[in-house]
């Protein structure tokens, strides 16, 4: 028989005692269509031999082969690979350096993603559900993949249904199938009913026989359509793909024009024509942008993994960077799971009315404090899955047939039970009492069980205002299967529990406030109690908590209330979901934390769902991020990592796209003017490496606390397009003036163009690297020093074919670069002002 208890994994919403509860042997209630003892070891071995096992691979990441394919076989690698092969034919080898850079970059990408894969896989094993089955008459926990056909799988509150099956045992078993069917109300299951994998238990206990395992199970068929590691909808990925698609369309006609013009100009030297054509095409390809995006995500996964944070979907890192509202579940987030019973307070004037239902001698008896303690002890002892609240009751009043002082407990028998429900806010047990009478004992939220204006509610509010949790113990002659079991309830006593506030909760809330992320507490506990806890943590607005029973139903008014209120109490699972949706309707990006089954719907609908590692299987299954060590203080690190990744990718995207813009412009200008392209591939390589590739790698991994905003493509292009045009125009102007000087050759003119473009590009880097820190200034200075060495060291200048001749052309190039730099500052001023608005 189940026993009233609070919700197994979320005592915050389980204000009545335990939700997944069972008297000893509850999982062994008579089977219907199944064997009481489950399969034998021989029968399991036989099914394993026949392949009737739950062999669906549980993957947290892509395979190594998929990672290699994704990094090697890309559109741009194919373009670069062909151009590299051409250079190997026409030579010299220094003009093929860009190919070696691509190989190195691809290798870095593969290594980092494999590191991320190993981190994810190891963390996934830690957080993997281990269902309980009955074999050889004994319950045992096994891995998901070890379930076989006809296994008897045991269920309790918070458990996820792993495979399809038929219910064989049910005691108040309620299953939520909303994630599969859309039906909002839990379904009461009876022996013979079907259960589908992917649903989860919200109340009661039971068991089912597995009828479909492996890829035949319903949830497995859905899972085949998408991998957990897939880069699902992401503004960053979508934006980058849009940019790359446009560049591809632009690259083809520009490259064709460049090929024709260079063959026309260099008709006497086809090898030189080929080299300069390749030099014009290579920098148009922003190959490093995709690579650094993947590397930044992968390194983010590894960093979070070190903090015991499992990222189940990569876009969650990006999503957290955009979060402006975080909805917190009090228990397990602001408070720890454990709690203590402070007092059992009999209510003034309460008496035990005996045999009001005619089952024994009638009359009233003085309230026996010992009887209350014994009744609570019986309730705690019957709970097969005690949560922190019920464990506290068990510690205080005994749970093993003896009272805490060691005396034998009088004979109480559990006859029937109604498990806790987050919607009801109470649980009940039908007891055969030592006096021979029969009555229903209820334990739950006082403001739900008592009528408005009851004198006891004043005391409840006073206790709640001190941050204490209060449960009401009552007794009624009404049977549990009546339409309203709480009718004619005799309130007997208040059970006062003290919650343990997390030591790091206040600091975490301050972090969110500093980062302009609004925190809201959405709890199933008393609004007064939740508000007191939040106020003790100095959460702004906590002094005005709202009872969710007063929430308006009209969507517009609900959204207004959700925006202006910080603390909500007595929130049902459906209301949690509605509050998340209301905030999203006002353009907010919402993260939701939770650990109980009552949080599943809200976690699923939130932009980012964050589950606690010790929470129910259902919450871990739907969340994008799982905090395996249950530390709320890890969340700031997750948010900071997301902001670092997204903010820095935006920085480096500007660098790569500036290069693409000026390369396309230079190609078009030489096509129209019929001049040789200003650079050889080796020049493009050294320019790209020193002004983009190497700096971008460091900038992509730097700290960045700015909250990500929508409009990624617009913001990147607002700087990249004008900066690229300025760089291209300045370079071509210096190059054209140098070509007009008949005292210099093409090598000298190319050197002037290279000098000018480097100075403008390093200026762009200096703008993108702002605000400055010592290491950023050192990075810019190091790149400038490296280029100076290339120009001045004979071996390097010969290798890269750079030679500045005379003074007029080089200084003209420097002057043009300075003018271009001033224009860049004007552009940056306007871009920054537009972004700040």
Q: Report how far residue 39's alpha carbon sits from residue 36's, in angstroms, rounded to the nearest whole number.
A: 9
Q: What's the half-sphere exposure (Cβ side, CA atoms, 13 Å) at 383?
A: 35
519 alpha-carbon distance from chain centroid: 17
Contacts for 554 with CB less than 8 Å, ≥ 6 apart: none
Residue 329 annotated among the catalytic residues of the structure: yes
Q: Report DSSP state, residue 407.
A: P
Contacts for 563 with CB less than 8 Å, ≥ 6 apart: 583, 586
Q: Report how far residue 815's alpha carbon sits from residue 821's, in angstroms, rounded to the nearest whole number.
A: 10
| Catalytic residue from among 13, 171, 176, 329 | 329
Tokens representing 799 are 């290798």
Asked if 334 and 501 touch (Cβ cutoff 8 Å), the reply is yes
Strands (E), 191-328: 194-195, 200-212, 309-311, 325-328
Q: Report how far residue 492's alpha carbon sits from residue 58's, in angstroms, rounded to the nearest whole number.
A: 50
| Angle, in degrees to the nearest 10, between helices 235-265 and 635-673 | 20
Taking only Cα atoms into account, the Rg of the chain, rounded to an integer number of angstroms, comes to 34
Q: Report how far residue 802's alpha carbon sits from residue 792's, in angstroms, rounded to the nearest whole number.
A: 9
Q: What 3-state class would DSSP assign to 21? A: coil
Asked if 567 and 542 touch (Cβ cutoff 8 Å), the reply is yes
User: Which residue matches tokens 């960045």?
Assistant: 704
Asked if 696 and 296 touch (Cβ cutoff 8 Å), the reply is no
Render 674-702 in DSSP notation, one character per residue: TPPPS--HHHHHHHHIIIIIHHHHHHHTS
Q: Report DSSP state, residue 545.
A: -
Count Cβ atoms within 10 A of the Cβ of residue 553 and give its class: 0-12 exposed, 13-18 middle, 19 or more buried: exposed
Asked if 108 and 100 touch (Cβ cutoff 8 Å), the reply is no
Nearest in space to 275 (alpha carbons), one of 665, 737, 747, 657: 747
SS3 content of the chain, % helix, strand, coil (to 5): 50, 15, 30
CA distances from 745 to 449, 682, 736, 748, 811 (A): 95, 18, 12, 5, 17
Tokens representing 825 are 């500052």
Nearest in space to 464 (alpha carbons), one of 489, 442, 447, 441: 447
Torsion angle in degrees (nearest 10) through CA of 638, 641, 643, 644: 170
Asked if 424 and 442 touch (Cβ cutoff 8 Å), the reply is no
Q: Report how far residue 190's alpha carbon sits from residue 667's, in angstroms, rounded to the nearest whole number.
A: 74
How many helices (DSSP H) and strands (DSSP E) are in the chain?
28, 23
User: Which residue matches tokens 């096994």?
Assistant: 142
Render 24-49 in DSSP notation, one character per residue: TTGGGSPPSSS-TT-B-HHHHHHHHH
Q: Report how far residue 604's alpha carbon sits from residue 623's, in angstroms, rounded to the nearest whole number.
A: 7
Q: Report how far residue 629's alpha carbon sits from residue 437's, in angstroms, rounded to the nearest whole number.
A: 47
Q: What 3-state class would DSSP assign to 346? A: strand
Strands (E), 93-183: 132-135, 138-141, 152-155, 164-176
First and final CA of the chain: distance in angstroms?
63
Q: Report how far residue 746's alpha carbon sits from residue 678's, in angstroms, rounded to the nearest whole number.
A: 8
Active site residues: 329
């Amino acid at each position: 028989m189940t026993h009233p208890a609070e919700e197994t994994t979320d005592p915050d919403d389980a204000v009545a005692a335990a939700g997944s509860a069972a008297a000893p042997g509850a999982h062994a209630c008579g089977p219907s269509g199944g064997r009481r003892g489950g399969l034998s070891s021989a029968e399991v071995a036989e099914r394993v031999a026949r392949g009737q096992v739950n062999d669906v691979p549980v993957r947290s990441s892509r395979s190594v082969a998929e990672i290699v394919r994704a990094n090697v076989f890309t559109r741009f690698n194919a373009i670069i690979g062909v151009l590299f092969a051409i250079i190997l034919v026409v030579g010299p080898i220094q003009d093929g350096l860009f190919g070696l850079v691509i190989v190195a970059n691809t290798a870095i990408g593969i290594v980092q993603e494999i590191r991320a894969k190993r981190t994810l896989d190891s963390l996934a094993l830690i957080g993997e559900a281990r269902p309980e089955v009955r074999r050889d008459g004994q319950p045992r926990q096994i891995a998901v993949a070890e379930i076989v056909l006809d296994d008897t799988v045991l269920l309790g509150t918070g458990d996820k249904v792993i495979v399809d099956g038929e219910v064989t045992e049910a005691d108040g078993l309620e299953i939520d199938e909303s994630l599969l069917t859309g039906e909002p109300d839990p379904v009461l299951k009876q022996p013979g009913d079907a259960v589908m994998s992917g649903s989860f238990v919200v109340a009661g206990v039971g068991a089912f026989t597995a009828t479909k395992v492996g890829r035949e199970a319903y949830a497995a068929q859905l899972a085949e359509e998408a991998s957990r590691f897939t880069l699902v909808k992401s503004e960053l990925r979508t934006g980058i793909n849009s940019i790359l698609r446009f560049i591809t369309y632009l690259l083809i006609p520009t490259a064709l024009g460049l090929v024709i013009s260079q063959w026309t100009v260099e008709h006497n030297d086809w090898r030189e024509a080929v080299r300069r054509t390749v030099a014009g095409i290579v920098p148009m390809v922003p190959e490093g942008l995709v690579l650094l995006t993947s590397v930044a995500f992968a390194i983010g996964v590894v960093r979070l993994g070190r903090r015991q944070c499992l990222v189940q979907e990569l876009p969650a890192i990006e999503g957290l960077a955009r979060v402006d509202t975080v909805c917190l579940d009090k228990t397990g987030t602001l408070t720890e799971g454990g709690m203590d019973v402070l007092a059992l307070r009999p209510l003034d004037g309460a008496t035990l009315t005996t045999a009001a239902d005619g089952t024994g001698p009638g009359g009233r008896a003085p309230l026996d404090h010992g009887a209350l303690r014994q009744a609570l002890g019986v309730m705690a002892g019957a709970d097969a899955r005690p949560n922190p609240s019920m464990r506290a009751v068990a510690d205080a009043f005994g749970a093993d047939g003896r009272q805490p002082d060691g005396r034998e407990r009088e004979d109480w028998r559990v006859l029937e039970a109604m498990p806790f429900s987050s919607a009801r806010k109470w649980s009940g047990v039908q007891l055969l009492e030592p006096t021979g009478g029969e009555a229903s004992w209820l334990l739950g939220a006082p403001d739900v069980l008592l009528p408005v204006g009851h004198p006891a509610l004043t005391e409840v509010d006073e206790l709640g205002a001190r941050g204490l949790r209060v449960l009401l113990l009552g007794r009624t002659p009404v049977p549990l299967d009546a339409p309203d079991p709480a009718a004619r309830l005799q309130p007997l006593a208040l059970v006062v529990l003290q919650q343990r506030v997390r030591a790091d909760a206040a600091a975490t809330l301050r972090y969110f406030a500093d980062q302009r992320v609004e925190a809201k507490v959405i709890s199933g506990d008393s609004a007064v109690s939740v508000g007191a806890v939040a106020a003790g943590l100095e959460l702004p607005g906590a002094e005005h908590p709202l009872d969710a029973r007063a929430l308006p139903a009209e969507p517009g008014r609900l959204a207004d209330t959700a925006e202006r209120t910080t603390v909500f109490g007595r929130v049902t699972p459906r209301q949690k979901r509605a509050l998340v949706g209301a905030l999203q309707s006002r353009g907010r990006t919402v993260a939701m934390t939770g650990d109980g089954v009552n949080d599943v719907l809200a976690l699923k609908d939130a932009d980012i769902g964050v589950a606690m590692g010790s929470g129910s299987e259902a919450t871990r299954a739907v969340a994008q991020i799982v905090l395996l060590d249950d530390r709320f203080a890890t969340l700031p690190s997750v948010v900071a990592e997301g902001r670092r990744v997204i903010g820095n990718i935006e920085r480096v995207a500007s660098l790569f796209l500036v290069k693409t813009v000026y390369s396309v412009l230079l190609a078009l200008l030489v096509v129209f003017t019929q001049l040789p392209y200003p650079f050889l591939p080796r020049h493009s390589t050294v320019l790209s490496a020193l002004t983009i590739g190497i700096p971008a790698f460091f900038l992509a991994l730097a700290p960045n606390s700015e909250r990500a905003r929508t409009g990624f493509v617009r913001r990147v292009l607002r700087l990249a397009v004008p900066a690229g045009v300025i760089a291209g125009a300045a370079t071509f102007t210096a190059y054209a003036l140098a070509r007009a000087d008949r005292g210099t050759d093409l090598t000298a003119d190319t050197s002037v163009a290279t000098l000018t473009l480097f100075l403008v590009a390093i200026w762009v880097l200096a703008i993108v690297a702002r605000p400055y820190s010592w290491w950023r200034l050192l990075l810019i200075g190091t790149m400038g020093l490296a280029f100076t060495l290339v120009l001045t060291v004979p071996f390097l200048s010969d290798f890269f074919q750079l030679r500045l001749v005379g003074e007029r052309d080089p200084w003209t190039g420097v002057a043009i670069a300075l003018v271009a730099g001033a224009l860049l500052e004007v552009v940056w001023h306007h871009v920054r002002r537009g972004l700040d608005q």
